Amino acid sequence: MDSVKTNLVGAFGSSISTLSRALSEEDIEGSGSSYRIVLPWLVLLATIFTLALSSGWIRKLAVAVLDIGAKRREKSKEVPPGSLGLPMVGDSLRYVNAYYNMTIKSYVDEKIRKYGPVFKVSLMGSPSVFLDAPAGTKIVLSHNEMKWTKGWWPKPVRELLGKHALSSQYGDEYLLHRNLVMKNFLDIDVVHQYISTMEKKAVKHIDKYWLALEDGSEVKAFKLMNVFSFSLITQLILGISNEKDIIDFNEVFHDMAAGLMALPVNLPGFQYWRSLRSRKLINQMLNVHIEKRRQDLKAGRASPTQDLLSVLLSTPNSEGHFLTSDELCDSLLQLVFGGHDTTAAMLTLSLRLIKEDPAVYEELKQGNFLRDYELQMVRALNAFQHATIAASKKPGELLTKEDLWAMKYTWRVMQEVMRLYPANQVMFREARITFEHHGYTIPKGWKLCFTNANSSWDPKFCKDPEKFKPSRFNEDKEKMPPWIHFPFGAGHRICPGQDFARVELLIFLHHFLRKIDWTVLVPNEKIEYRLLATPVNGTPIKITKIRC
């Protein structure tokens, strides 16, 4: 402390002496007015400084400042290794190519071999850090998420989905919007109220689009699954039941969605340009629908609870704010997108994967196919599967929530489908603060990437990760470590529709598996990620009706 005092006094005294000499020289050359004006102030300042220093508080302040500086120098670590590449371009082209062709694991593995488990790249014009698993994944998915990170999507995606979409928001705005949607549409108790609607829709769809065909007919599963999921979500959200309206909306919607992974060039002839035009058309269609519903609600021709649109027009958020038309358009569009594309992809991929293992298919269908003695007791204790549940029902009797939560093996199958083909191979956040991770400094504003490539696709955490093995999710099996398998994300930004998706998937498969058998015609069909997993040939299958 004495040395600090000595250094401060010496430095201050030296500064005063220097200034005094300078003013004295000026006085020699000039009138000397500057010296006569400033010198008394210098003397006063020196006196105050000396008294303050002797009292001790400025010494403490000086030591604190020096200590902060030392700590900052000590903590000033390097950013993660890697290459940011060319300005604006960075590594975006290689990354998008790897993502699109589902070679993202090779992309990440190559970077890890070169730089280590935490590395930097530049994606979509932003410095980005790929985090390790599970430590890095925990940072962005744990309870610290709201303090450390915020949601982020590339600008072209945000422009297509809209600034009022849930995925584009963060902080209090995000929480208010999320709570409004959860409370009125996606909370588990609300989802249970849709079970009968979902089941009737599934049965009607299977009867019309599958059972009406001749045995041996060939269909493209992805197209038909999309028809089912889109018609269901538009009915529940918008109340649209007219088939022509659904088809028209579906066509425009999918042209918009095609731009989410397209080259963001807003010029005629490019997909992104077409997608922006489709987005404007969707807004026009939704605004007409919204205005008509407003009038119907006022006139009593519509119920405030008949679908989500009516609910949102009649219900404010927790701060008393009613969504504007622009906010409604963005919110409804994202709910339609998230509520059908992922489901259609998962149902299609499940048909392909289930037939890769005959034992999985038989167990799903019958609920009593056992591959080894060890599983026999476990599955005997497990709740019913589809044949057992169906046998317990009277003609026309619908499924209950207890029936759905009893379909444990079916849900394990779907978990494994989502592990192999996640909704997003890489997820993004943005750092809200500068923080350290494994000795590296990650600056505020940098993008944080976490991926299945180094988690649930890594043999360190998941044995034979390339194989379809629903048994890895058996309750008696050793589970994967936390922060490794995150099909719906986690934390504050966990997918709000996870229970909706689970109920829809289970209901459809329950009826489909008992009525339709199928043969996959292109077993090794390529999967591309056009934002979501998309079979390039639409998964052609040959169907045979099951006659009970």
On whether 462 is known to bind a ligand per the annotation, the reply is no
Give 28's contacts (C-beta < 8 A, 6+ positions apart). none
- Give the separation between CA 496 and CA 185, rounded to whole angstroms: 10
What is the chain's Cα-based Rg?
A: 31
- Amino acid identity, position 480: M
| CA dist., res. 393 & res. 229, Å (int) | 25
What are the tokens at 164?
Answer: 């009022």
Tokens standing for residue 244: 């022509």
Under 8 Å between Cβ of 68 and 59: no
Q: Shortest CA distance to 183 belongs to which of 297, 330, 312, 343? A: 312
Instruction: Supply the DSSP string of 59-124, one letter for each residue.
Output: HHHHHHHHHHHHHHHHH-PPPPSB---STTTTTHHHHHHHHHTT-HHHHHHHHHHHH-SSEEEEET
Q: Which segments of 213-354 are extended strands (E)?
A: 218-220
CB atoms within 10 A of CB 39: 16
CA–CA separation, 79 vs 129, rounded Å? 9
Closest Cα to residue 306, out of 316, 314, 298? 314
What span, in angstroms and rounded, lies between the C-alpha atoms of 501 and 185?
12
The rounded distance, in Å, linking the Cα atoms of 468 and 13 is 77
Q: 162 Cβ partners below 8 Å, 6+ apart?
A: 168, 279, 326, 329, 330, 333, 334
What strands lie across the sheet with 540-545, from one edge to the other? Answer: 218-220, 540-545, 516-520
Residue ranges for the known binding site for heme are 495
Residue ranges for the known binding site are 495
